[in-house]
Amino acid sequence: MNLRTPGMPFGLHRVKNPMGSLPQAATTLDAEGPLFDNEIEIAVATLNIDSASFHQIVGELGQDEEAFKKHIMSIVSERGKMQNPVTGSGGMLLGTIMRKGPHYTGDLEVGDRVASLVSLTLTPLKIKEITKVHFNADQVDVHATAYLWSDAPIVKLPTDMDENLALSALDVCGAPAQADRLCKGKQRVLIMGAGKSGALCAAAAREAMGSFGSVYGYDLNSTNLEKLKNEKIIDDFRTGDATNPVKVFDQIMEMTNGELMDVVINTCNVSNTEMSAILPCADRGTTYFFNMATSFGKAALGCEGVGKDINLLIGNGYAHGHAEITLNLMRNHSVVREIFEQI
């Protein structure tokens, strides 16, 4: 096998510029073959683009498939990875392991169908062709090659659900895993956003809290919220513009008879929703931001400005057991699976 050596921890051997930075922070990566001795080579079939990134590009270009393809190709060709220069976010991939270096320590084998559990913002990627853009699923089908090293989490795809469905769920699997931790033993939880990650977080909160607490929802549209309420995953909801924090606060207080939330989980994929997630949170409660549209400066300074003594948590895409937690939520809650299938 033709190899390059030695591969370094955390993918440092793939960084081109600036030298010494980690792959996610690097402006450009080496996405060329052959693979290093601690890597796997992946034939990529689909890129699941981060929601904030996908919708930013659509907002700029519209649903023009050829323009979208050209834009993605330009980013990846220039940077050696998929990292939207506006949002800073990437996504994840689905593919097949083609080669495995002798010092790769993961338990995957050549031929396995896999989904990456690390961001495309740190994944060396070379696209030969984009064959299809799925505007309803935030995905693009590609002929491409990617490389990942032993430190980078990656999972073998399940056999009991559609691969692209599993990919969509695994792309946000850090959110429900954290929701499970945060919501245990709590009385009131608010989920902002009822898309893919929001639906999973609502299901995780309900499982963590059982019948002893209340799970509330907030979104611009009522469709998914009604479905979640009908299945008793959420207890009540309101709809409106999450960028209007005073209106959101008034709606939440009306819904709960003035009771503040122990936990607020913000999965909105638009900017300027920070204060809408902070105002309804109780003293010493927790607001968890799981969306790449969040300005953490606005959250921190805004929280200070209204005298809120709460915990602000940044969404982490990795948590121990997050893939299995997420896939089990998809198996256990048909309405969540339905929401993923319709998006």
**DSSP secondary structure, 72-97, as one string:** HHHHHHHHSS---TTT---EEEEEEE
Contact 315, 287 (CB under 8 A): no
Mean pLDDT of 328-332: 96
pLDDT digits (tens, 9 = 90+) for 108-165: 999 999 999 999 999 999 999 999 999 988 999 999 999 999 989 999 999 999 988 9
Contact 174, 278 (CB under 8 A): no
What residues form DSSP beta bridges with 26?
A: none
Q: How far apart are CA 246 and CA 97, in angstroms?
A: 50
- Neighbouring CB atoms inside 10 A of 295's CB total 14
pLDDT at 196: 92
Secondary structure (3-state) at 127:
strand
Q: In the chain, which residue ranges form alpha helices assigned H by DSSP?
A: 51-61, 65-79, 163-170, 174-183, 196-209, 223-230, 245-256, 274-278, 296-305, 322-332, 334-342
Residue range 174-342 forms a domain whose CATH class is: alpha beta
Q: Where along the chain do its domains lie? A: 9-164, 174-342
Mean pLDDT of the chain: 95
pLDDT at 148: 97
pLDDT at 343: 60
pTM of the model as a whole: 0.83
pLDDT at 218: 98
pLDDT digits (tens, 9 = 90+) for 263-288: 999 999 889 999 999 999 999 999 99
Residue 321 has pLDDT above 70, yes or no: yes
